[in-house]
Amino acid sequence: MYFAIIDCGTTNSRIYLLDENYQVIKKGNRKIGVRDTAIHGSNKVLKLGLKKLIEETVLSSGLKIQDIKFAITFGMITSEIGLIEIPHLWVPVTIEDLAENIKEVRDVNIFPIDIPVYFIRGIKNYFPDNATYKDIRKIDFMRGEETQVAGLLELYPELSLPLTVVILSSHTKYIYINKKKQICGSLTNMSGQIYEALKKETNVGKSIKGNEPKKNLDFFDVDIIRTAYDSVQNAGFLRSLIMPRFMEVLLQTKWYERELFVNSAICVDDLKVLNDFKLLDISLTDSSYLLVGHKIRCNILSYMLKEYHKVENEIKIISNKEEIDQLSIQGAIAIAKKVGYLKGENNDGL
């Protein structure tokens, strides 16, 4: 028996083919996501891209589509610019809640491959029916990160709770998990997209990339981080973003030093979001932290949490690409087991 796990994001989509022992036998990725729906005004491009991704991955594994029993999918694929809009679940949410509310679809007009597909719902913060723009700081949602959290709880049962998970990707997502293993709320920033836009669409981009090799791949300079913190706190975030240009033209600095400055400046502003957890009636006083993503970004965040936010509880980092992939894979498997689609505690599954 073979099945597929599909993670559809804003810009990229990934597929993992697994056997009956839950071992990944093949994986594939393609630059296709819901951003393409937003650009083209239709999800046809997304459907075609996902179809090609699935077919190419299955073919390269030596299998046929008919060999794939079903697919589990999550992420932006369940949004209004994905393949099918599925309402979010209100917090608080457990793995059991995600399993109980999974949506099964077998319709080639929705999903372009003729196999059963199980869609995992996203999660949203609680807000009243009469909420207005005045409540906007309390409002947040996720599609995809809930599956990663399920994987975290499955893979790392020793994690200290309550826990604030910080997922650094195209967005930075802060997710609070209480002692009952419930996802209680989230807050999101655009940090990753801001960095990419700065690098590709502004004249600062030239200043934070170069051919000269770094001193080491994990280059980290506390003086640069502190300088960035001081700059954002006093001169402001926007002025700080242009400073790498001055550093390149007027000072004797390396591109990777300027890159660290930019990432640090973004991180300073990013961490201000922690203040808004009190609007969700969530206290972070007793929380430990788990940071998921690019190693340098995680290291900067960890340093600032300790140095400027006085976090004394444990801060764990997951930056290995394979380990990060396993969060989504194991999360999808755990949810599928709970609902009985795979061998697990509820029945024998498939």
pLDDT in tens, 206-244: 999 988 877 777 899 999 999 999 999 999 999 999 999
CA 198 and chain centroid, separation:
20
Rg (the chain; Cα; Å): 21
Q: What is the mean pLDDT of residues 319-340?
A: 95
Please give the Cα distance from 157 to 172 (Å, whole number).
Answer: 24
Note the pLDDT of residue 1. 87
Note the pLDDT of residue 211. 81
CATH architecture of 161-313: 2-Layer Sandwich (3.30)
Please give the Cα distance from 198 to 220 (Å, whole number).
Answer: 21
Domains 2-137+321-339 and 161-313 share a fold: yes
What the block records as the tokens of 333 is 């498997």
The domain 2-137+321-339: what is its CATH number? 3.30.420.300
Find the largest Cα–Cα distance for the chain. 67
Q: What does residue 29 show for φ and ψ, rounded to 5 degrees?
A: -145, 155
Domain boundaries, the chain: 2-137+321-339, 161-313
Residues 147 and 94: beta-carbon distance below 8 Å: no
Q: What is the mean pLDDT of residues 196-210?
A: 94
Q: Identify the band that residue 315 occupies on the pLDDT scale cut at 50, 70 and 90.
A: very high
pLDDT of 132-185, one tens digit each?
999 999 999 999 999 999 999 999 999 999 999 999 988 899 999 999 999 999
Residues 10 and 35: beta-carbon distance below 8 Å: yes
Please give the Cα distance from 106 to 52 (Å, whole number).
Answer: 18
Q: Identify the band that residue 94 occupies on the pLDDT scale cut at 50, 70 and 90.
A: very high
Would you mind telling me the total number of residues written for the chain in this entry?
350
Note the pLDDT of residue 349. 55
CA angle 235, 241, 247 (to 5 degrees): 95
Nearest to 292 by CA among 114, 123, 155: 155
What spatial distance separates the first Cα and last Cα of the chain, rounded to whole Å? 8
DSSP string, 227-266: HHHHHHHHT-HHHHHHHHHHHHHHS---HHHHHHHHHHHH
Please give the Cα distance from 255 to 229 (Å, whole number).
Answer: 19
CA angle 213, 214, 217 (to 5 degrees): 120
Note the pLDDT of residue 216. 76
Q: CA-CA distances (angstroms) from residue 109 to 35, 65, 264? A: 20, 17, 45
Q: Identify the band that residue 264 occupies on the pLDDT scale cut at 50, 70 and 90.
A: very high
Q: What does residue 199 show for φ and ψ, rounded to 5 degrees?
A: -75, -35
Report the mean per-residue pLDDT for the chain. 94
